[in-house]
Structure 1
Amino acid sequence: MTLLGRKIVVCAELVPEAHAERLCLGCGPVPDRVAVSTWFWPEMAGRVPPQAVRIVGAFAVARHWRTALASAVPFARYGNVAMVLPSSAALTRDYLANCLPRVRRHGVAVLLADPEGEVTLDVAGQRGGAPEQTSLSRWVHEVVYEKLLATC
C-alpha cells in the first residue's frame, strides 16, 4: 500500500476485543485524517473508538537501498521495519559505506533476495520502545485497519 507517500507492505494483526467493540458500536475504520485528529481534543475523551489493529512491522521492497530506506524509516515508530533488496546491491561500495551505517542508526533490518528467490538476513533490525500516541499514528492505524478488513 502507499501510506505517507511511501510504498510499503504493512504487517498488522487485528485486536479481536477492540474490533468486536467497534462492530457493536457500528464504528468501522475512519480513514479521514481530519476526523481522526479531532479524537485528541479534550472534549472527545471517552468517545473515541478503541484502536482495532496492532502494527507488527513494515517492509519496503526496492532495487536501491536509498529508495527502500526512505520508504521504511517513517514506519519505524510503529513496529519493526525491514527493507528487501536484490543481493547484488550488497556488493557495492555505496551499500557498505553509506547504507549500513544508516540502517543501523534507524534500526532497519536488511533482507537480500537472490535471483532464485531465496531471501537472507544481512542486518538485524532493532526495535525501540512503544511509540507515543499522536493523531498521525492513530490515523495510520485507522488506514491499516481499513485495508486489513478489505483483504479479509
Structure 2
Amino acid sequence: MSALALIRLGSRGLGAWSQAGLLQKAQPSLSALVQAKGLKVTPVQKGRVYGPEADNEKEVGTKHWVNERVIAVALLPIIPVALAFPNAVLDNVLVASVMLHTHWRLSGVVGDYIHGPIMPKICKPAVLVVSICALGGLLYFNYTDIGFANAVRMIYTEL
C-alpha cells in the first residue's frame, strides 16, 4: 500500500514530495552541535560502577563459579553410577551433590531476582533452611529406608 503511494508521489514530481512532507530542506550543520535543553552530561566515573571492586572478591566469585561447574560435571557420572550400583555410600554422595547443586542454583535465583530492602533478608535464609531440611530428609531416607537410588529404581520399574 505504501509502495503505491510512493509511486503516485513520484509520478507527480518533487512538488508533491514537498507537499507530503517527505522532502524537507536541510538544516544548517551547526544545529547538530546545539545541546538539547533537558540533556545533562554527567562526569566520568573513575573505576567500575558495578561488580566486585577488590581483587579478593573477584577471586572468591571465580572460585565459586569453578566449584559450581565442578559439581555440575561431577553429577554426570555420579547419577548413573549411583543408580546402577545402589549402596549407602553412593546414595549419600548423590544426595549431597544434588542438594549442594540445587542450593547454589536457588541462591543464585534469589540473588538475581529478589530485590528490595526486606525480601532478600527473608528469602536468603529461607533458601538455606529449605536446603538443609531437604538434605536432612534425604539423608534420613537413605539411612532408615531403601535409599534414594533404590527408590528411583522402584518408581521406574513399578509404575
Structure with the larger RCO, 1 or 2 (CA within 8 Å, 6+ apart): 1
Q: Which structure would you say has the larger Rg?
A: 2
Give the TM-score, by structure 1 length: 0.27
TM-score, normalised by the number of residues in structure 2:
0.26
